[in-house]
């Protein structure tokens, strides 16, 4: 993609956080924006922001776990703009908790949003791109999609590995047909993801959630929007928000046994977990 002028971009999860940052930056660069989100108040607010920039903007309430909602989103976009040039599958959720006790409902929720939400977006919008022989797909994964940065976010990491793998598949499938593909792998970003995050299967009284020091410095969503726009214009496949993550991406699997041994040797256990592992578990 050489520029965003007069391009039509769909951004799921676009009413806040990274999605909002992407939508605003694309609008500044001349794109028409469709924002899809569940939070209707924020949806209205970001559409107003986009229009103040001068973009043509459409807001659509959409649950990416619903086939019907995504189909309605596709119909609304085609009715308004006639095509989609850039699909940003960005909607995402987080679940924390040890892999052996996270509730099945929380596993299913994470996979429905973070993986099948992307699949629904692809099914809705990529056929039109293939017919035209042009377009671009951006999927939001995470650094959690290229290495397991911790052991207490099993459902989240599993879903993001799937999002990353699907992105590689799409690159192999779509690039020969003139359609670009990128995968966004953010580190820590200042967003409201924690509002909907679920803690599942965690012992009562345990101080949970360990962020390794190497992912402790957050960047702002507006900065991520710039990084995404530049990555799309240059056709970069894996877009990282932190340079050290880009370097880690290159080295992690050169010797996976050594990498795992090193990180396991330095990881922390949430206080009291080993002592409390046989006590009653609570699931939100």
Q: CA angle 223-228-230, nearest 5°?
A: 95
| Alpha-carbon span 45 to 43, nearest angstrom | 5
Ranges of each domain in the chain: 8-95+108-197+217-246
* Class (C level, CATH) for 8-95+108-197+217-246: alpha beta
The predicted model scores a pTM of 0.90
Structural tokens at position 52: 């103040």
Which among 136, 149, 156, 164 is annotated as catalytic?
156
pLDDT (tens, 9 = 90+) of the chain, 284 residues, equals 899 999 999 999 999 999 999 999 999 999 999 999 999 999 999 999 999 999 999 999 999 999 999 999 999 999 999 999 999 999 999 998 889 999 999 999 999 999 999 999 999 999 999 999 999 999 999 999 999 988 888 999 999 999 999 999 999 999 999 999 999 999 988 877 767 778 787 766 565 555 555 555 888 999 999 999 999 999 999 999 999 999 989 998 899 999 889 888 776 655 444 433 333 333 32
Angle between helices 221-234 and 17-28 (to 10 degrees): 60
Q: Is the dihedral of CA 158, 164, 169, 170 positive or negative?
A: positive
Burial of 181 (0-12, 13-18, 19+ CB in 10 A): buried
156 flagged as catalytic: yes
């Amino acid at each position: 993609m050489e520029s965003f002028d007069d391009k039509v971009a769909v951004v799921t999860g676009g009413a806040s956080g990274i999605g909002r940052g992407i939508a605003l930056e694309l609008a500044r660069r001349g794109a028409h924006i469709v924002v899809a989100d569940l939070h209707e108040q924020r949806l209205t607010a970001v559409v107003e922001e986009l229009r103040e920039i001068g973009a043509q903007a459409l807001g659509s309430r959409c649950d990416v776990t619903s086939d019907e909602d995504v189909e309605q989103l596709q119909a609304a976009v085609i009715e308004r703009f006639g095509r989609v040039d850039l699909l940003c599958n960005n909607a995402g959720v987080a679940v924390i908790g040890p892999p052996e006790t996270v509730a099945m409902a929380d596993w299913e929720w994470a996979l429905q949003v973070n993986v099948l939400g992307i699949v629904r977006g692809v099914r809705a919008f990529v056929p039109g791109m293939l017919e035209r022989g042009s377009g671009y797909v951006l999927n939001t994964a995470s650094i959690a999609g290229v290495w397991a940065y911790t052991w207490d976010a099993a459902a989240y990491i599993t879903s993001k590995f799937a999002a990353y793998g699907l992105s590689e598949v799409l690159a192999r499938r779509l690039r020969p047909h003139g359609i670009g593909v990128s995968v966004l792998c953010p580190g820590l970003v200042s967003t409201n993801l924690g509002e909907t995050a679920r803690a599942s299967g965690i012992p009562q009284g345990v101080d949970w959630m360990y962020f390794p020091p190497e992912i402790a410095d957050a960047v702002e969503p507006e900065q991520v929007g710039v990084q995404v726009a530049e990555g799309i214009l240059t056709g970069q496949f894996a877009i990282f928000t932190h340079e050290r993550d880009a370097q880690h991406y290159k080295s992690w699997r050169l010797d996976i046994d050594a990498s795992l041994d090193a990180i396991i040797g330095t990881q922390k256990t949430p206080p009291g977990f080993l002592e409390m592992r046989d006590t009653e578990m609570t699931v939100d």
